[in-house]
Structure 1
């Protein structure tokens, strides 16, 4: 597993805070901090997304679609948090998991479409569109990890769901190395809010 230094984490925090996500990331000496960004506060802030390597997947859990097949606000908030996390870990694949189709569209397909609209490379997104419960999210994701040789995940879901999700993924044998929820993705330490991530509503 790739190990990351706090220096590298600070660089990635600066990149995410300024809206940049180019890979490879320049050396810290080549990337000045944006004006007004206190790197010290970034380093010690407990709710920052983590920086992970390509063997760790960002997993965004689904939420029920409307009968018309559109996403509810809570699912959009999960995706915004997932997009923020993915900016801090540009090497990580993104797994969107959720079945329960409405109007012929699964949660995973709706989530993947939103991420592509937000500018994520479709090749980075893995769709898991069969799960109909949190337990199934975990089991199906475990199979994807095994097939792709991935070692761990960062979970992204709602604050009132994260504990249950962590238990389900642990029971499925998945190593959860971090998590992020929309409520914890609001940072006063840096000029970044999750509602700045993703496509603007029409």
Structure 2
């Protein structure tokens, strides 16, 4: 009987310790995501001060009391998809900070088309999920807009196909479907 008690007692401690470690890991992941998705973290790189200033001047900022930050447009709205995005895009973005000289707006602008292309393609692959998170059921008043949004409802288009250059400085618009097929920038 003593051996059975020791075995049960030992297993209880194993379960308690394992549960505690799992809880700590979950909290660390949640807090880590909260930190690296934060506005402060995003604009801590000098190069992000330029797009941030553009966002603050755009029609998307301040309208109806809404002030979107980087994560609202550049990351998926759901937790697990956002974690995956951090794991895939985070290292690329970090390497880009060292790969390019982005110390001035002029140097940033030398790479602006490439950055816009990457952001647009990411939104395209994500079916514009960040857009849809805020703009739940958009239905424009113009006939042209309604015809385009019909394509959206039929799954033949996504927000970024038509809505490019809304927030940041103007960059030539792309045909994203052709660009995905050809693996390069294809201008309209």
TM over 0.5: no
After TM superposition, the score normalised by the length of structure 1 is 0.25
**TM-score, normalization: structure 2?**
0.26
Bigger relative CO (Cα 8 Å, ≥ 6 apart): 1
